[in-house]
Amino acid sequence: VYDPKQAQSLVEILINRGELEKDRVHIHFQDDKGNETPITYGELLEKSTKVASSFYQLGLKPGDTVAIM
């Protein structure tokens, strides 16, 4: 059984949850009209992996600081 308290980073937790509990809802996104969209661990892992890949293609390396606004 995976214990997230033993994780070394949030990335480790996300990868684990995204693989083991991909259909479990992680968060509900609410738009400016109050409509909610559930985001699963699997969706979050997939989207964050795409963002990370894009940053890497732009030349960023692990450890670089990025501000997202």
Provide the pLDDT for residue 45: 95
pLDDT at 59: 96
Phi and psi (nearest 5°) for 22? -60, -25
What is the per-residue pLDDT for 62? 84
- Which pLDDT tens digits describe the chain residue by residue (69 residues)? 778 788 888 889 999 999 999 999 999 999 999 999 999 999 999 999 999 999 999 999 988 998 887
pLDDT of residue 63: 87
Q: Identify the pLDDT of residue 5.
A: 85
